Amino acid sequence: MSNLTVLAGAPVLLVQLVVSGILVGAIFALVAYGMALVWGVMNIINIAQGEFVMLGGYVVFFLDRAGIAPVFGIPVAALVLYVVGIALYHTIIRRIVGRDMFTSILATFGISILLQQLANQLFSADIRTVRSGLPSLFFADGMITIPEVDLVGFAAAVVVGALLVAFLRTTRMGQAIRATAQNARAARVLGIDTDRVYATTFAINCAICGAAGGLVAMTWFIQPYLGLTYTLRSFMIVIVAGLGNLAGVIVAGAGLGVVEDLAGFVLGSEYQTAFVFMLLVVILVGRNLWLARERRSLR
């Protein structure tokens, strides 16, 4: 734990970790919000969430290699993933809406493996990244480094999130989505085409993940197996924040980013992912203990 003493002795390092944690946390929050959307509207926990992020990253990567800058690549990735989402909905997802959670978890797990292995076969397991060519900003005598691309990623995540929220609040489809989330049967009675709502919701989620994936490619790197980590991160954020709690998702996302950065520094980067998943287990166990104290009563 010598890194812990280093941290205690140099508070400016703490600031560095917190800031970079918040910046990456915005991307986590974005992906988590998409997962919460699908969960809330369709009662499906999408285990393939991270794979959509991964695919978005590859789209931006290959466009970048072809000379198209990420600023255009990201919207294209969102569009491509939107189409993928529609296709997946009509072939698979439509048949598991309304079934029990176990079925949806198993089915989306299958999709996750399918996409993961597809990416592995098509793109190889090599790590890919998109060079932004942006400089790094230095603060506090060079003790704090913030790559400009991280700021861009943060800003982009905020923009996409804001667009999504605006969409849900102002457009008719957005309102239809929110109505269906509250009560699908009532929505149908009112004439809302729930099938279209589900398809759109799922596709929007894929699009969000696609955009986020582009941001990940820019600020970090892409490889075929990064999916599950993102899925479980999103899951953690959603259960901590609760469905339908946007502010909670943002705070939890930022919090997770910070905690991960700290853990990576103190425990070493090899243990960083292990820590994230351990946190997930601890959160679930803790959440259960907290629920047990309230003790639901049977009717």
- The answer to whether the CB of 148 falls within 8 A of the CB of 137 is yes
Q: Per rule CB under 8 A, is residue 99 in the interface with another protein?
A: yes
Q: Per rule CB under 8 A, is residue 290 in the interface with another protein?
A: no
Q: Per rule CB under 8 A, is residue 285 in the interface with another protein?
A: yes
> Segment near another protein (CB under 8 A), from 133-141, 173-181, 183-191, 274-282?
274-282
Q: Per rule CB under 8 A, is residue 243 in the interface with another protein?
A: no
Residue with tokens 């986590």: 28
Q: Of the candidates 16, 112, 205, 223, which one interacts with another protein according to CB under 8 A?
A: 112
User: What tokens appear for 227 in the block?
Assistant: 């999916």
Min dist CB 200 to another protein, Å, is 21
d(CA 234, CA 236): 5
d(CA 59, CA 86): 17
Cβ nearer to another protein, comparing 19 with 256: 256
Q: Per rule CB under 8 A, is residue 176 in the interface with another protein?
A: no
Cβ nearer to another protein, comparing 14 with 267: 267
User: What tokens appear for 241 in the block?
Assistant: 């924040």
Cβ nearer to another protein, comparing 63 with 107: 107
User: What tokens appear for 27 in the block?
Assistant: 């991307």
- What's the helix, strand, coil split of the chain in %, to 5? 80, 5, 20
Round to the nearest angstrom and report the end-to-end CA distance of the chain. 51
Cβ nearer to another protein, comparing 3 with 145: 3
Closest-CA residue to 226 (of 89, 129, 296, 160): 129
Q: Of the candidates 16, 116, 132, 205, which one interacts with another protein according to CB under 8 A?
A: 116
Q: Of the candidates 129, 145, 175, 273, which one interacts with another protein according to CB under 8 A?
A: 273
Three-class SS state of 279: helix
d(CA 255, CA 249): 10
Q: What are the helix and strand counts (H, E) for the chain?
A: 13, 2
Min dist CB 55 to another protein, Å, is 14
- Give the interface with another protein as residue ranges (CB under 8 A): 45, 92, 95-96, 99, 101-103, 105-107, 109-118, 120-121, 228, 232, 235, 239, 268, 270-271, 273-274, 277-278, 280-281, 284-285, 287-289, 292, 295, 297-299
